[in-house]
């Protein structure tokens, strides 16, 4: 009975951990999509500024251009950091799956010894 209780506790903890990982992955994916959209918008704004400046339709405001360049670089950095977090989540998920496989392989001897 004690072993069964411990196994139930471990399964509950694993389920809670999996739910937390799933939420973190969903948040990470949403954040990554948002950052990619922001980066795309910044790139489009930069291109518009460049084309307006090159057409002689008026001078490109150097300060505004530098600000957009900085925002662009900041978004690229943030996206890179988010991708690194995503990779760490994938590694955690792999480790969790390995633990589950080990647990399943260990369950067979336990269940036969309990009965």
Summarize pLDDT for 5-18 with one digit per residue, the tens.
Answer: 888 888 888 888 88
Q: Which domain holds residue 75?
A: 2-114
- pLDDT, residue 115, reads 45
Total number of domains constituting the chain: 1
* C-beta neighbour count of 42 within 10 angstroms: 19
- Mean pLDDT of the residues in the chain: 79
pTM score, whole prediction: 0.49
Residues 6+ apart with CB under 8 A from 65: 46, 49, 53
């Amino acid at each position: 009975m004690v072993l069964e209780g411990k196994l139930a506790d471990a399964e509950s903890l694993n389920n809670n951990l999996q739910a937390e990982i799933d939420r973190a992955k969903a948040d990470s994916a949403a954040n990554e999509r948002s950052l990619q959209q922001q980066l795309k918008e910044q790139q489009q704004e930069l291109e518009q500024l460049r084309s307006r400046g090159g057409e002689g339709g008026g001078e490109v405001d150097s300060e505004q251009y530098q600000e957009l360049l900085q925002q662009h670089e900041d978004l690229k950095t943030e996206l890179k950091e988010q991708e690194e977090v995503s990779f760490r989540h994938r590694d955690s998920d792999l480790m969790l799956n390995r633990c589950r496989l080990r647990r399943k392989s260990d369950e067979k001897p336990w269940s036969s010894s309990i009965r």
